[in-house]
Structure 1
């Protein structure tokens, strides 16, 4: 039985607390948050104790920590937790700064402690099935990947101001999906974005609508579309065209009932937000982390994967500002070389 501490008692912390306490091979023993009342409230719900971060990290009986704090604290907490001998699962992204994330990666590699980055969408049953089918050669060589990720409504402007921007906060998931499916980081990134949904988002210096094209050295292409507003629900789709066919993962609907009359056909809308769409993915992600810790095997999503996704976000940010295509250089990827690999 592994003793687990949760750092961060906000909305995503609550999601992770549920996954931790649902797992039969670990117990949630401590929760920390900058808002002590939030930590106490969540701890009381799950029979844990609210404790300061320093106490948690110095407690040798705690085997692992899950970091679900604000992004600007991630790198520091990863370094401190691994230095204290803990296994770590940290929410995305590694940091708001690519330079700082690279420093964190180097520090953690020297420590030898396991770190997993929380790109939960890899563990979604729909996307995982698509990836397995592609890896099994069912559609031949990948040629064109299309990822659609639309939120039902924008977050508060107060969140936008500290989020690091759409590319680092929202599209970071899709960058990881593209790297994961294609088997490595792209060579070039071209991005365009605008503030079409909310004037407040634009005034805060961010965008709410974006399209990014990724290209690999062997010519493969991925197109990612993001919007902060899709009034019909949470639109999450992946389509992969290969030399021998097509794989597609469609939206999960609120129900599967379809009505057909002389006036036409009507079906349900997509589930409304990420909690409904990805709760199973969060649970599978946590199970994969625990399995890696207990068996002392490599993490299924590494800190280097987190750096690669952040490098894509950095390149997209530069491209959107300059209007030019940005090359992802080796120094942007740290220990990860740019892969010009072809699909199996």
Structure 2
């Protein structure tokens, strides 16, 4: 039984804590949040202790592993605190909002031979697992292009925007990781454009954007196009298309039902898209935690590493540089 503390009682912390409590390989020992009421409420529902001091909880003798679901700018520090204490870590993306700090953290984690997994949950979505399996099986031959559409149903809360590190480091970071996952090669050139069309005033205040497009290319010529927007009036839009030398793979949006309706005013009307990432990626979060716990239990390599987190962040930084300079950036 792996004894786990979950750091953070917000949206993502609630998902992780519930999954830990339900997993037969784990015991949820504690939920930590600086807001005591939030920690107490979540911990109380799941039969765990609550706390407000993350570092003290990490160092507890009855904690074997921690799940970090705190704000992005705390990730690197908390990972290092846990690794120095000999604890295993499942950490939400990104490694840090600052690439230099991320590089320092990744280097120290390697020296410590720490057991750390980056929580790129989309790799663990059943449909995305099937995409990778089909590519590996040669179903579409050699991959030539990857197209990723990623659109949220609405802007996140103001406080979230303030600490997120920006749309490239926060939202598109998943897409940079999925690009690497599906291309099977590292992009070496990045070109990006970004704009403020959803809420220009809010984005200008935080020097951020709400709409972007990115084009990347690998050394062998494989290409990836990513488009993201903070607001899609029709719901949470998540789609993938992979073009290969022998065919194409597509992963479309999920809906509560596959029923299509036809009448005098519309045809092929479908139910609305799932509301947001908490509903769309329920299985992915569960599978991600299970992969982490099984790797700990078996002593095998983590399926995603801090180096994966660093590479996705480097692509985000290159995209930001491209937006500011108007030029493509070599990685």
**Which residue in the other structure is 1:181 paired with?**
182
Matched with 1:49 is 49
The answer to whether structure 1 residue 320 and structure 2 residue 323 are counterparts is yes
Instruction: String of CA shifts for 1:27-70, please: whole Å, max 9, x gaps.
Output: 10012111122112211111111132233222222110001111
Gaps of 5+ in 1: 329-344
Distance in 1 separating the partners of 2:226 and 2:201: 24
Partner of 2:281: 278
Tell me if the contact between 2:55 and 2:78 (Cα under 8 Å) persists in the aligned partners: no
| Residue 234 in structure 1 maps to residue 242 in structure 2 | no
Unaligned residue ranges in structure 2 (runs of 5+): none
**Deviation at residue 254 of structure 1 after TM alignment:** 2.7
More moved, 81-90 vs 60-69: 60-69
Report the Cα distance in structure 2 between the residues aligned to 1:41 and 1:278, rounded to whole angstroms.
24
Return the offset for 1:262. Answer: 4.5
Q: Distance in 1 between matches of 2:42 and 2:226?
A: 36
Secondary structure of 2:163's counterpart equals coil
Match of 1:332 in 2: none
Task: Give the secondary-structure state (helix, strand or coil) at the position aligned to 2:154.
Answer: coil
Aligned equivalent of 1:66: 67
Aligned-pair CA distance for 1:255: 1.5
Deviation (angstroms), 1:117: 0.5
Question: Equivalents in 2 of 1:270, 1:125: separation in Å?
Answer: 17
Q: Secondary structure at the match of 2:187?
A: coil
Instruction: Tell me if the contact between 2:151 and 2:232 (Cα under 8 Å) persists in the aligned partners.
Output: yes
Q: Is the 8 A contact 1:157 1:200 kept in 2?
A: no
- The whole-number CA distance in structure 1 between the counterparts of 2:37 and 2:264 is 57
- In structure 2, C-alpha distance between the alignment counterparts of 1:30 and 1:202, rounded to whole Å: 36
Task: Name the counterpart of 2:198.
Answer: 197
Measured after TM superposition, the shift of residue 148 of structure 1 is 0.3
Cα distance in 1, alignment partners of residues 241 and 202 from structure 2: 29
TM-score w.r.t. length of structure 1: 0.93
Which residue does the alignment assign to 1:255?
Answer: 257
Runs of 4+ displaced beyond 6 Å: none
1:175 Cα shift?
0.2
Q: Which residue of 2 aligns with 1:246?
A: 248
| Alignment size in residue pairs | 328
Tell me which residue corresponds to 1:208: 210
Partner secondary structure for residue 158 of structure 1: helix
| TM-score for both structures, normalised by structure 2 | 0.97
The SS at the match of 1:69 is: coil
CA distance in 1 between partners of 2:76 and 2:242 (Å): 33
The aligned residue for residue 336 of structure 1 is none
Q: CA RMSD in A?
A: 1.1
